[in-house]
Amino acid sequence: MPDLKRRVFFAVIVLVIGVAGGAYWYTSMRSTTASVSQWLSRSLDQVDSIHVQTPGETYILKAVDDGWEIHVPGGSWNIKARALTGRVLAYESLLVDLDPRRSIGDLDSVGDQYGLDAPDLKVLLSFGEKGGEPLTIRLTSGASGVVYGWNSENPALVYEFDTQFFQELLQPAVNFFDTRVFAFEEQAIHRIQLVQPFGSSWLVELSKQGYTFSLPGYLKGKSASDSKIKLYIHALALLRAGTLILDPVVAEKQMAALTIRLWNSQSETPHSVEFYTIKDDPKHYLGRSSWLTVPFLLDVNSVSQLVRSAFDVQGRSVFSLEIGDVATMVIDHGKKRYVVERNDTGWHVRGREKNIPGIDMSLWRFTELQFEALPLNNLSASAVKLMQCQLFDEGGQVLNAMTFYADPKLPQGQCWIQNGDGMYYPVSGRLLKDLQGMFPAGHVK
């Protein structure tokens, strides 16, 4: 009887071991099946370079301290430039997220019979010194709308994929280039220079009072228009290269036709771009940027929109005025004088109770007056005096005094205004027209 019990005991032990072994084998097989059907189980987070090879070109994406670089080897020169980090990471995601329709096993090579020995796309991913062995991926387009794939993680398998993703992986090198001409924080720019060898050149610097001119000499210390300078900085921040030049190109002249430099508060080295004329191509300029290290083309119209004269960015206000300080206006139009006073309900002509609408709007237009061309010290004989306007505060002190002149030599819609500093400024005639309508030269009614 004890022998029978002993036999039963050993039989149970053998049965338990068999069941456990079978369960382990089944689990292992399921795990193996899952790993091979996953295409790639390895994370690409630690990738430090991506070598992409197609029948048409080869390029390398390399991780650097501040992002990614792209290297394009050429027959006569090698190109190295900044790459768009977002596009590189998106490319990695495409490689990882491939979803195979099925896999074919028991290979003893890299899938020569499927065309994978000479693939349409070969990608080699390196993981650095501590990241492990490199990962190789091969993809090629087969018949009947099938893409075959192979990777060194599962070298005994060939995978079948649908074709919709394939063109996204066959991206040319130019798709990865960072085509920004400049890369800076707009708020940090404190100095801007524009240089033209045969045109207006200027330099403005930021002070507590806003942007002021350092060059040209006749504008030194004068105010530039803060709004126009900030708008110009914004336009430069948005500037993108047209066509990237990946082969040697010769500029027509060594002297740049246009140079733009910007300094920020953290560095004395400026951000810069230079544009050169190109022999036999009058429709484009060759650009060289301190940020975009690859030469590029930009069409003539785009470059011309970057040109600003000193006059274009100059602060062109004729005078400053605090509207709330104005208590009285004296208008001399022809032989008539109007004394207009402010009261609690508005503005009225002295001695008249009826309020005159539109005075506050006219005062605001005084503050918005800008000269349309350079001012003159003397007027031509064709100028005719039309109106004089004086503004007083509550104490009777003169705030501003200006005189309007008509001149047939001015462009249509403009007139001259003298604001007391001895200079005559060509300005829009809209304010004069409004004042003439409110205060006619005829009898006061």
Alpha carbons 214 and 193: distance in angstroms, whole number: 10
Domain C-terminal end among 124, 152, 176: 176
Does 135 share its domain with 240?
no
Give 90's DSSP letter.
H
Does residue 348 fall inside a structural domain?
A: yes
Alpha carbons 200 and 220: distance in angstroms, whole number: 14
Does residue 374 fall inside a structural domain?
A: yes
Does 159 share its domain with 197?
no
Does residue 22 fall inside a structural domain?
A: no
Does residue 368 fall inside a structural domain?
A: yes
Say whether 227 sits in a helix, a strand or coil.
helix
> Is 427:445 a contact under the CB 8 Å cutoff?
no
Say whether 323 sits in a helix, a strand or coil.
helix
Does 141 share its domain with 254?
no
Helix (H) or strand (E) holding 436: helix 430-438
Going from the first residue of the chain to its last (445 residues), give the mean pLDDT of each consecutive group of 10, the final group possibly shorter.
Answer: 53 51 41 56 90 94 94 79 95 93 74 84 90 91 87 92 89 93 95 94 94 94 94 97 80 84 91 93 94 92 96 89 94 93 90 86 91 90 95 94 96 92 90 93 60
The pLDDT tens digits for 94-133 are 999 999 988 988 666 656 778 888 999 999 999 987 778 9
Does residue 37 fall inside a structural domain?
A: no
Residues spanned by the domain of 205: 186-313
Does 60 share its domain with 88?
yes
Burial grade of 11 (CB within 10 A; 0-12, 13-18, 19 or more): exposed
Does 228 share its domain with 327?
no
Domain C-terminal end among 176, 201, 226: 176
Does 337 share its domain with 434?
yes
Does 287 share its domain with 362?
no
Does 385 share its domain with 333?
yes
Does residue 376 fall inside a structural domain?
A: yes
Does residue 12 fall inside a structural domain?
A: no
Domain C-terminal end among 176, 203, 235: 176
Does 345 share its domain with 433?
yes
Does 103 share its domain with 123?
yes
Burial grade of 151 (CB within 10 A; 0-12, 13-18, 19 or more): buried
Say whether 412 sits in a helix, a strand or coil.
coil
Does residue 224 fall inside a structural domain?
A: yes
Does 59 share its domain with 172?
yes
Does 246 share its domain with 358?
no
Alpha carbons 417 and 318: distance in angstroms, whole number: 9
The pLDDT tens digits for 17-62 are 554 444 443 333 333 343 446 799 888 888 999 999 998 899 999 9
pTM (2 d.p.)? 0.72
Domain count, the chain: 3
Alpha carbons 108 and 224: distance in angstroms, whole number: 74
Tokens, residue 88: 């590189």
> Is 61:83 a contact under the CB 8 Å cutoff?
yes
